[in-house]
Chains A and B, each alone.
Chain A
Amino acid sequence: MSETIPLLVHAARHNDEDAWDQLFRMHQLRLFTYALGFTRNRAAAFDIVQETFARAVTHVAGLRDDSKFTPWLFGIAHQRCIQHFRGAKREDALFEEAADIEGEPDPGTPDPFRALVTSEDARSLQALIEQLPAPQRSALLLHVLGEFSLEEIAEVSDVPVGTVKSRLHNAKRAMRAMISKEAL
């Protein structure tokens, strides 16, 4: 799939409507899941997807590398999510919830998602992620939905790579704590 993206983007740059359709179809569910997980607001998530698509069509000339279309698209969606919070005047409060602790994740700790993945309950997993503070939630969603590298997440979120690392580490730790609490 990712091999075809640069070809589709190339066609989309020349106003190929089918190419846009395929590109958006590939990303729509992931973008919606990201926006919903970030904003925790279904109506806002739909609006964000729509705005992201519209902005992608009008600003595609600003995309330098066609192979980076997916992180670029998520970057637009991320900005719309931030704007959603700004509109609700909650951004500061949400982003103060999490103190970003710089540091390397502990490689010795088990993956907190193993138990959940086997539990086959995606909705409860989503509910757990929604309990995380916004920055951790965003980093974790970008990590699992976009399968982006740390560098790409840093680029999408406009923060240093170290911050992304610590946000992911904290998110996993918080998830682990929530899962073990639920298991008790």
Chain B
Amino acid sequence: MKRPLGEWLQGANEPETARLDAIRRSVLTPERPSALEVLGELFRPHARAWGCIVAAWALLALAHHFVNGRTAPDGARRLQEPVANLAILSPDEALSPLDWHS
């Protein structure tokens, strides 16, 4: 039985039909990427740069925490000082410079 030449050639590639079906479907109904994939695509191309930024922020956060942890009592004391000075003033003491000349 004779078949057109084109059919013979196509016949040799018939095992690829399943993959071609998948390609056809992927073009017609492209799958929406998940949020994770979108994030991955955003960060993956410059993973090293993003890694450095994350590391720098982590270091800054650590340093901030470390420095704050030590200086917090001093800071608190400094905040309390004006309050203490106000307490020294007696109720009838002049508070306004204008009062000094009266």
Contact = CB atoms under 8 A, between A and B. Distances in A.
Interface in B14-55: 14, 16-17, 19-21, 23-24, 26-29
**Secondary structure of the A contact surface, majority rule:** helix
Contacts of B95: none
B9 interface: yes
A24 B24 contact: yes
A30 B5 CA distance: 12
Interface in A113-168: 113, 116-118, 122-123, 125-126, 129, 141, 144-147
Contacts of A183: none
Interface stretch (A32-40, A69-77, A93-101): A32-40
B10 A33 contact: yes
Contacts of A30: 6, 10
8 contacts: A21-B24, A32-B20, A33-B13, A50-B23, A53-B24, A117-B2, A122-B12, A129-B9
Interface of A: 17, 20-21, 24-25, 28-30, 32-33, 36-37, 46, 49-50, 53-54, 57, 113, 116-118, 122-123, 125-126, 129, 141, 144-147
